[in-house]
Amino acid sequence: MEKRNIGKSGLSAPFLGLGTWAIGGGRWWGDNDDALSVKAIETAVEQGIVWIDTAPIYGLYHSEEVVGEALRHIDRDKVILSTKCGLEWRHESPVLHKVVDGVQTYRDLSAKSIIEDVEDSLRRLGTDHLDVLYTHWQTPDLSIFPLEETVEAMMKLKEQGKIRAIGASNTTADFIRGYCKYGQLDVIQEKYSLLTRRIEKQLLPTCKELGVSIQAYSPLEQGLLTGKVTMDTTYPEGSTRNTNPCFQPARRAQAIHLLDSWGDLCEKYHCTKAQLVIALTARMIPGLHVLCGARTPEQAIDNAGALHITLEGADAVQMKWDVDAIS
């Protein structure tokens, strides 16, 4: 199976990774069966989805705890494990983030906070190293948490063997340049789908210039690109889908029409619409890594089907034209 580099770290993985935000549960995702979540992670790895991504904020530590339990049953050397730092609720900081599951959270990218986050994550995950450590959200006012201090702390953790690659999530081109100026940046993690493509213009040129990889989250646009959403589908009050521009009537109609037009391709490649979308998304940007969530073994198996789709050149070109036409 083809592997893609993770920046200049020397690490590589197949393009499809497992996102574990939903596994953390909480108000956003509701209750989960943890035993089923563990089995989903094990199944994903068995199916070739070996990059597992988590974060302390997902379920307020619960996602990391579930991933840690799963890792007890998996060969650690087969897995690329990433988590994040910089969101705090153990203490206050000058930078408010938002309320998560009834708890006020803060952004803190000080060296002290980063080191504490890593030590706690290593304990919850039951491992002695992280393959990738992301800063979860950046702090625009660098007078509060200087970027040089943030990067220096991460470089020190790398020298100690506690992390193997440095990442930044929800970032900007200026921050990418700053990370590379003060140390190293291997990968960024950003929202990207066939309907949400801002990073192609805003971040991709800088990443290509500096050799930084990209990992996309929400490639199925909160389920809109699975083919299961109709114009009549509704969501509960408070759902973020109700405020997501892609779910508004005109944009939703475009997405549904796009997927319907690819019905013959699903038959040709013996795949679902979601699998076809994942496979195409992975081709939209050279070397792109893609994260998809799964809470059950069946979902993990379904996602993994995208790894086995090899789009013919002409089909890929036509599909990209179709996407461009509604962008």
Tell me the domain boundaries of the chain: 4-221+272-312
Tell me the CATH number for domain 4-221+272-312.
3.20.20.100
The average pLDDT across 134-142 equals: 95
Question: How large is the average pLDDT for residues 259-281?
Answer: 98
pLDDT beyond 80 at 273: yes
Measured on CA atoms in the order 51, 31, 168, 196, is the torsion positive or negative?
A: positive
Whether the per-residue pLDDT at 29 is higher than 90: the answer is no
CA 310 from centroid of its chain's CA atoms: 22
Res 189: pLDDT: 98
- Which residues are annotated as catalytic? 58
Report which of residues 101 and 316 the model is more confident about: 316
Q: Which two tokens stand for residue 17?
A: 């990774």
For the CA atoms of 201, 192, 307, 326, what is the dihedral angle to 10 degrees? -80
DSSP 126-152: T-S-EEEEEE-S--S-TTTS-HHHHHH
pLDDT-derived band at 28 (thresholds 50, 70, 90) equals: low
Between the alpha carbon of residue 201 and those of residues 110, 195, 204, 277, the distances in Å are 30, 14, 6, 21
Q: Tokens representing 236? A: 């509960």
Q: What is the mean pLDDT of residues 199-211?
A: 98
- CA 10: distance to chain centroid? 20
Whole-angstrom Cα distance, residue 104 to residue 119? 22
For residue 32, pLDDT beyond 90: no
pLDDT tens digit sequence for 83-95: 999 999 989 999 9
% of the chain exceeding 70 in pLDDT: 100
CA 210 vs CA 23, 205, 326: distances in Å:
33, 9, 30
Percent of the chain surpassing pLDDT 90: 94
Residue 78 region, left (φ>0) first, then alpha (ψ -120 to 50), else beta? alpha
DSSP state of 48: T
Q: Rounded distance, CA 150 to CA 190, Å?
A: 19
Give the DSSP per-residue string, 227-249: T---TT----TT-GGGT-GGGSH
Give CA–CA dist 270/256, Å, rounded. 20
**How much is the pLDDT for 78?**
96
Instruction: Tell me the whole-structure pTM to 2 decimals.
Output: 0.96
pLDDT value at 219 more than 90:
yes
> What whole-number distance in Å separates Cα of residue 183 and Cα of residue 8?
12
236 pLDDT exceeds 90?
no
Tokens found for residue 156 = 């020190």
Closest CA to 276 of 289, 287, 260: 260
| 3 state DSSP class of 21 | coil
Tens-digit pLDDT profile for residues 162-204: 999 999 999 999 999 999 999 999 999 999 999 999 999 999 9
Q: What is the mean pLDDT of residues 227-237?
A: 94
pLDDT band, very low/low/confident/very high, at 237 (cuts 50, 70, 90):
confident
Residue 301: exposed, middle, or buried by beta-carbon count in 10 A (0-12, 13-18, 19+)? middle
Query: Is pLDDT at 26 greater than 90 in this prediction?
Result: no
Least confident of 97-106, 148-157, 307-316: 97-106
